[in-house]
Structure 1
């Protein structure tokens, strides 16, 4: 590899890592809402909360919506805004 190729590859890797890091929540723990506030937010939306954990600096919840569909949601720990929701798919045979 030439030095130009190595430099280009390194810059692409750095840019990709920075873009991925922006998906994380960067809120100091002192500003986080308590888990009970997350639970109350989920219940107010009609979700049956199964699990709360911290992941990438955000709250991550596993819940079931009003239609019985399981999902995972990333929650901003300060504002309790839903950042991302992914439907959980289980392989059933």
Structure 2
């Protein structure tokens, strides 16, 4: 009985059709802009693209801005609107390299 009440309570809080993550892009592939248009958008902003991938139905771009800082940009695939823009933390890279036994300042 408690399990049923828990499930009903959950459904009341999260009604059907509401996504848990509202930054997903729910667009049919037929309506998507081509990947080269996304690359052109990056070029127009002066970004150097490292990778363009699809995440949660959105384009996600790993790049460097005009000042060389690492950025991650989430782009709506149909409208090409920027949904999210964030700077990547270089300290995370240093920490990850040290965990792997490498020091970025002293790489061979």
Give the CA deviation at 1:21. 3.7
Counterpart Cα distance in 1 of 2:38 and 2:57: 14
Match of 1:75? 75
Gaps of at least 5 residues in structure 1 are: none
Give the CA deviation at 1:22. 2.6
TM-score by length of 2: 0.71
Q: Which runs of 4+ in 1 moved over 6 A?
A: none
TM-score by length of 1: 0.81
Where is the strand percentage greater, Structure 1 or Structure 2? 1
Q: How do residues 78-93 of structure 1 correspond to structure 2 at under 5 angstroms?
A: 78-90=78-90, 91=92, 92=94
Counterpart Cα distance in 2 of 1:2 and 1:89: 44
Counterpart Cα distance in 1 of 2:3 and 2:50: 51
User: Which structure would you say has the larger Rg?
Assistant: 2
Counterpart Cα distance in 1 of 2:59 and 2:10: 33
Counterpart Cα distance in 2 of 1:86 and 1:5: 40
Gaps of at least 5 residues in structure 2 are: 96-108
User: RCO higher in 1 or 2 (8 Å CA, sep ≥ 6)?
Assistant: 1
Q: CA deviation digits over 1:22-42, x for unaligned, max 9? A: 311111101111110000000
Are positions 1:39 and 2:54 aligned together?
Answer: no
